[in-house]
Amino acid sequence: MSQAHQVQPAELLKVSGLQMRFGGLLAVDGIDFDVRRDEVFAIIGPNGAGKTTVFNCVGGFYRPTAGEVTLDGHSIARLPSHQVARRGLVRTFQNIRLFRQLTVVENLLVAQHLQVRAGLLHGLFATPAYRRAERAALERAAVWLERMGLRDVANREAGTLSYGHQRRLEIARCMITNPRLLMLDEPAAGLNPQEKVVLSQLIDQLRREFNISVLLIEHDMSLVMGVSDRILVMEHGRPIVVGKPAEVRNDPRVIKAYLGED
């Protein structure tokens, strides 16, 4: 069968039998789920449940000790993170990771693989092709600065921004690469109630406008319940239940897992 006639799988991301062992600790074990096209899929569970470890395995930061991860039907489980990113799967971090000494706009240029602050040499030797790429990258950065409400802080060092602005810059840095799957690790952590409302509207708008899927880890229940199509609940590295928000919310096993948390 020729490539053109192959039917795309319904799910964009498929995770099966995922296991991650750290020495004697099974941080993740027997995790199966899929993320469909244009879906917001959330992973919730008490602290230490293994949620971030799932992200690290899916994103190529850890090599899972067992299991398979496919994106559009192609295995990505043993690819390094930069190759996973090139296939359209990008993430934010639970502990924000930005280039703190670079400005906001420079962070967005680096995300597009442009060298910044190369100085005089760059000015002397830049080719016309490089200058064109640089102009296009600056234009894209301007679009995302505007979109994310970061225009007024464009020339500030990223490390000096408020927490809410840093979170938005991280998302902008992901979106500027044209992803297919955006993974957000506790994006509402440290945000005030008003910023959380803005964040959930943003997640909703991005998935509609750019036809992306979103894989979300989040502790804020009202945000998760409002923005997700389906939710996987984990505890001690294992799955408890997968379902729609209303199903998950009323599941006695989920309530028990959360009541058991300190």
Q: Which stretch binds ligand ADP (CB under 6 A): 4-12, 45-53, 98-106, 244-252?
A: 45-53
What whole-number distance in Å separates Cα of residue 259 and Cα of residue 14?
30
| CA-derived radius of gyration, the chain | 19
Return the one option of ligand ADP, Mg ion, none that residue 163 interacts with (CB less than 5 to 8 A, by type). Answer: none
| CA distance linking residue 34 with residue 164, whole number of Å | 30
Q: Give which of 241, 249, 204, 242 is closest to 222, Cα–Cα.
A: 249
187 binds ligand ADP per the rule CB under 6 A: no
Q: Minimal distance in Å, beta carbon 117 to ligand ADP?
A: 32
202 or 234, CB closer to Mg ion? Answer: 234
Considering the rule CB under 6 A, would residue 49 count as an interface residue with ligand ADP? yes
C-alpha to C-alpha distance for 14 and 68, rounded to whole angstroms? 8
**Residue 52 or 166 with smaller CB distance to Mg ion:** 52
Query: Quick one: what does residue 48 bind among Mg ion, ligand ADP, none, with the CB cut-off 5 to 8 Å set by partner type?
Result: ligand ADP
Q: How many helices (H) and strands (E) does the chain have?
A: 10, 10
Question: Mask: binding to ligand ADP, 6-35, rule CB under 6 A, as x and -?
Answer: ----------------x--x-x--------
Q: Decide whether 96 or 104 has the Cβ nearer to ligand ADP.
A: 96
Under DSSP, the state recorded for 7 is P
Q: Does 108 bind ligand ADP (CB under 6 A)?
A: no
Binding of residue 257 to ligand ADP (CB under 6 A) = no
Q: How many CB atoms lie within 10 A of CB 143?
A: 14
Residue span binding Mg ion (CB under 5 A) among the ranges 37-45, 50-58, 109-117, 132-140: 50-58
52 binds ligand ADP (CB under 6 A): yes
Quote the least distance from Cβ 189 to Mg ion, whole Å.
9
Query: How far is it between the farthest Cα atoms of the chain?
Result: 67
Decide: is 52 part of the binding site for Mg ion (CB under 5 A): yes
Work out whether 92 is an interface residue with Mg ion (CB under 5 A): no
- Crossing angle of helices 104-111 and 128-147, in 10° steps, is 120
Long-range CB pairs of 221-226, under 8 A, 24+ apart, other chains included: 221/44, 222/196, 223/188, 223/196, 223/199, 224/42, 224/44, 225/249, 226/200
Which residues of the shown chain bind ligand ADP in the complex (CB under 6 A)?
22, 25, 27, 45, 47-53
Which residues of the shown chain bind Mg ion in the complex (CB under 5 A)?
52, 94
